[in-house]
Structure 1
Amino acid sequence: MSFLLFSSFLYFLTLISPSSARTTTLSLKPSAAAPPLTNPWQRLSHLAAASASRAHHLKHPKTNISNTNVPVFPRAYGGYSISLSFGTPPQTLSFVMDTGSSLVWFPCTPRYSCSSCNFQNVKNVSTFIPKSSSSSKIVGCKNPKCRLIFPDVQCRNCDNRSTTCTEFCPPYIIQYGSGSTTGLLLSETLFFEKKSVDNFIVGCSLFSSRQPSGIAGFGRGPESLPAQMGLKKFSYCLVSHRFDDTLVSSDLVLVGGAGGAEKKSGINYTPFGRNPTTGNSAFQDYYYVTLKRITVGGIEVKVPRKFLRPDSSGKGGAVLDSGTTFTFMENHIFEPIAQEFEKQVRKNYSRAVEIENQSGLRPCFDVSGENSFTLPKLSFHFKGGKRMELPLADYFSFLGDSVVCLTMVTDNPDDGGIGPGPAIILGNYQQQNFYVEYDLEKSMLGFRGELCK
């Protein structure tokens, strides 16, 4: 790629001014459906593989993922999308909402290139055109906001005593479980219906791999949308995954400035955990929560305590991630849970091993011929005594009328030690039909079971 050409293309762009804030509501919907598949269990296999790949990225944020097998359909990890408007006049584009990363970026220029995106016509992907916006300006190397992404940046071609510098902030390269993206940082205006946010730092991507459209980072990093908007909290209620073309959506509520959103009753609150103080800096983006125990059918699963709380280097602990579909658990957590389900369920139903091989999920159970059936309840117990009891559809998939499968994934068995990064990644499939609130001011997670619509 030629970043010199890219820089020249954007060099003449310009900037604008400041803004206000209170409560903003956006439409939040499941991202584009995958192409039709001949076998209904293939889709689960794709999503299971994508969830495992995404987990690998969150646990190893800076490793090369070129040899990782991932699905190749749009937004393959089964995320949720929002529409945001940037530029003057505003250009509206679709973004995957991602609480597991922080940078906001969009495809930039009509020459946007996406490798391994043969599953979607990239020519039809909405792209941002900087030269059509009077508020676009490429971020300079000496701009303090360049250090949001590159804390240790060295402006080699700039005089430290000079206040002017024509050197640009370095190009970024960001990896995700299902691809990567590369580009330069822009300073732009982010528009909402009743307010705007000027000097918003956004990624202008020219090249991507398996990422045809943009991502809105809602993580804890200083470059995230909540941080740049100065939000006090944000909340969402995820409508159920339908894996079809049904147009359904719910609200993503952003709260900032004076005043706030209407308070909801019956919310359970648990404090966010402390992020690791050493190790990979990417772990600072994650929303850690403290899981005290996990129960299946009211029975506490014997999970090694060392997996439930992260150490200072980032080994262990649990995080929330809206960009992961199926919850990931390290093998030494997953296996006791799977075994407890099998122990309680096998009295009534047999294992569907063939479907397990096709779907990549386990355990699966044959419930054919049953007009109704019951399965053990799965509950997460958080610090502060707050319990999240999942609806059955949040942890078992009911594709077809004869088999159900546990919708969580794991990695390969290891030697018993804790691997790098979070041991549990709570995905969006397990957050369906819950009101979920991120209180950034009080550093608390709130949740309540709710029919999202």
Structure 2
Amino acid sequence: MATPAFFICLSIILSSISISFSQILLLPLTHSLSTVQFNSIPHLLKSITARSAARFLRHRHPHRQVSLPLSPGSDYTLSLSLGSHPPQTLSLYMDTGSDLVWLPCHPFECILCEGKYNPNPAALNLSSTAAPATCRSRACAAAHSSLSSSDLCAVSRCPLESIEVSECDYFSCPPFYYAYADGSLIAKLYTDSLSIPMSSPSLILKNFTFGCANSALGEPIGVAGFGRGVLSLPAQLTDFSPQLGNQFSYCLVSHSFDANRVRLLSPLILGRYKRKEQLGQAEPDFVYTPMLDNPKYPYFYSVGLEAVSIGKRRIESPPRLKRVDRSGNGGMVVDSGTTFTILPSDFYESVVAEFGHRVGRGHNKAGRIEERTGLSPCYYFDDRVAKVPVVALHFGGNSSVVLPRRNYFYEFWDGGDEGKGKKKVGCVMLMNGGDDSEGGGPVGTLGNYQQQGFEVVYDLEKRRVGFARRKCASLWESLNQG
């Protein structure tokens, strides 16, 4: 990985009084598997499918107890620094499915975290410039979404006469419980200076609000939430610089779990850039789909999936996947933190049945591989490249995304040593979300594996998500040098 000295050391100080910022902010995303040794592809796939399934269940049932897998997932991290004299740098997961930035703070207890990926040498020690968020702050109300500021100040033991005249500035926001897709935590809100040392140009953001967790379940690292909430990183950037916060995009390098390619950096871009001037006229334009509002889960980037095409056959999605109802049920979440795309059971069965109809003839099902990977269907092939149909996703707004073959069909060798006795196997990289008749929330997830090789843009101002094919490693080099 490049060191901070590699980047332009121009520091842009953002303040709430005045700001002039015309450039994008470019950050490197590091794949969580870049430092993990994985010798068995089936074992790796099994751990990732388990993590994707657990995350999907937490999306639908945030308050239900869900068994959290201890094995690593396929996620992306970025580096943030908090405090001063000196600032402390930590790696956090970049997560569009969460609206909170939180970090593990000393002393830190992590439950069910044995063996989990953790690039951080230690938890955060709050600096002398850190200050508790007050009970009357907008951030405190956002963290405690069901309580009014008066209730929060009462919990913080602010006297009644002070509550009545809104003079509780010296009373801090009480601790809060936060459940997200990969776990849960108890934290307090603080403000301090935030810097992004690996960005180009570098950034210092004063009075940044974050969660300081002393205990967490299932996640030792911390999360940089990019969801649709006032505590997310884009939202806090918008308060200071609309040019930076109103749009962000990322381009995940296609890796197919290759040990060398997972080490390549993927660009995360905050703000707008002139793509035609930067990348050339030959680059494809974006296709956009509208964001759907979800009253129950307002921080999700929900979209409508209209259909999936397998070859020339278009399979219509069920109505609940196309829209979100008034109770917050339905739709598909575009999620950077889930690896594999998940579809509701009946629709998934229709999609893989059509795929199997076109591929399964003449090829044996690899049932043992399906059990070992958690993926289905899987087939045995000979040494030739398997012939598989083209898969396209059709979203609301008449936008279609044709997936590269490697985004939905993964081929690898199974068994034997040094090529002897090995069999070539191929698996469909989609997952069954199960019966969605119980509970609520989103019924599908667009995972990061299917997003590889696309620049995915979240246009918060125009309330839309866009997709465009890119060579993501080249995009990183082009923007970083430009």
- 1:282-321 equivalence runs, <5 A: 283-321=297-335
Structure 2 residue aligned with 1:269: 287
Structure 2 residue aligned with 1:47: 48
1:393 is matched by which residue type in structure 2? Answer: R
Q: 1:412 aligns with which of 425, 431, 434?
A: 434
Q: 1:394 aligns with which of 407, 421, 425?
A: 407
2:69 is matched by which residue type in structure 1? Answer: P
Deviates more, 1:222-231 or 1:347-356: 347-356
Rounded to whole Å, the distance in 1 between the matches of 2:117 and 2:58 is: 26
Aligned-residue offset at 1:266: 2.5
SS of the counterpart of 1:112?
A: strand
Aligned-residue offset at 1:384: 2.9
Identity, in percent, stands at: 34
Instruction: Tell me if structure 1 keeps the 8 A contact 2:305–2:317.
Output: no
Structure 2 residue aligned with 1:119: 115
Structure 2 residue aligned with 1:5: none
> How does the TM-score come out when normalised to structure 2?
0.81
Rounded to whole Å, the distance in 1 between the matches of 2:399 and 2:314 is: 15
Rounded to whole Å, the distance in 1 between the matches of 2:375 and 2:450 is: 15
1:445 aligns with 2:442: no
Structure 1 residue aligned with 2:74: 78
Q: Which runs of 5+ in 2 are unaligned?
A: 1-13, 239-244, 277-282, 414-422, 474-482
* Cα distance change on mapping 1:271 and 1:87 into 2, 3 Å: same
Aligned-residue offset at 1:240: 2.6
* Cα distance change on mapping 1:185 and 1:286 into 2, 3 Å: same
- 1:198-237 equivalence runs, <5 A: 198-230=206-238, 231-237=245-251
* Cα distance change on mapping 1:450 and 1:37 into 2, 3 Å: closer
* Cα distance change on mapping 1:338 and 1:329 into 2, 3 Å: same
Please give the per-residue CA displacement for 1:173-196, whole angstroms capped at 9, x wherever unaligned: 222343222211111111244442
1:94 is matched by which residue type in structure 2? Answer: S
Rounded to whole Å, the distance in 1 between the matches of 2:131 and 2:310 is: 54
Rounded to whole Å, the distance in 2 between the matches of 1:34 and 1:356 is: 27
Structure having the higher helix fraction is 2
Aligned-residue offset at 1:267: 2.2
Q: 2:174 aligns with which of 165, 170, 177?
A: 170
Rounded to whole Å, the distance in 2 between the matches of 1:96 and 1:30 is: 10
Aligned-residue offset at 1:337: 0.6
- 1:354-369 equivalence runs, <5 A: 354-367=368-381, 369=382
Instruction: Tell me if structure 1 keeps the 8 A contact 2:110–2:219.
Output: yes
Please give the per-residue CA displacement for 1:22-52, whole angstroms capped at 9, x wherever unaligned: 4210001211458556643111111111101
Structure 2 residue aligned with 1:140: 134
Instruction: Tell me if structure 1 keeps the 8 A contact 2:287–2:400.
Output: no
Rounded to whole Å, the distance in 2 between the matches of 1:145 and 1:391 is: 41
1:434 aligns with 2:454: yes
* Cα distance change on mapping 1:321 and 1:419 into 2, 3 Å: same
2:195 is matched by which residue type in structure 1? Answer: F
Structure 2 residue aligned with 1:90: 87
Aligned-residue offset at 1:239: 1.2
1:251 is matched by which residue type in structure 2? Answer: P
Please give the per-residue CA displacement for 1:84-107, whole angstroms capped at 9, x wherever unaligned: 122124322111100001100111
Structure 1 residue aligned with 2:442: 422
1:79 is matched by which residue type in structure 2? Answer: D
Q: 2:360 aligns with which of 340, 346, 355?
A: 346
Structure 2 residue aligned with 1:24: 25
SS of the counterpart of 1:142?
A: coil
SS of the counterpart of 2:357?
A: helix
Q: 2:253 aligns with which of 218, 239, 242?
A: 239
Instruction: Tell me if structure 2 keeps the 8 A contact 1:291–1:318.
Output: yes
Q: 1:379 aligns with which of 392, 396, 410?
A: 392
Instruction: Tell me if structure 1 keeps the 8 A contact 2:178–2:186.
Output: yes
SS of the counterpart of 2:54?
A: helix
Q: 2:336 aligns with which of 319, 322, 327?
A: 322
SS of the counterpart of 1:425?
A: strand
Rounded to whole Å, the distance in 2 between the matches of 1:142 and 1:253 is: 33
Structure 1 residue aligned with 2:195: 191
Q: CA RMSD in A?
A: 2.3
- 1:94-113 equivalence runs, <5 A: 94-109=91-106, 111-113=107-109
Aligned-residue offset at 1:210: 2.0
> How does the TM-score come out when normalised to structure 1?
0.86
What count of residue pairs does the alignment treat as equivalent?
A: 419
Instruction: Tell me if structure 2 keeps the 8 A contact 1:29–1:238.
Output: no
2:51 is matched by which residue type in structure 1? Answer: A
Rounded to whole Å, the distance in 2 between the matches of 1:204 and 1:243 is: 35
Please give the per-residue CA displacement for 1:162-214, whole angstroms capped at 9, x wherever unaligned: 52444321212222343222211111111244442211110111111221111
2:471 is matched by which residue type in structure 1? Answer: L
Instruction: Tell me if structure 2 keeps the 8 A contact 1:272–1:444.
Output: yes
SS of the counterpart of 1:301?
A: strand
2:288 is matched by which residue type in structure 1? Answer: T
SS of the counterpart of 1:332?
A: helix
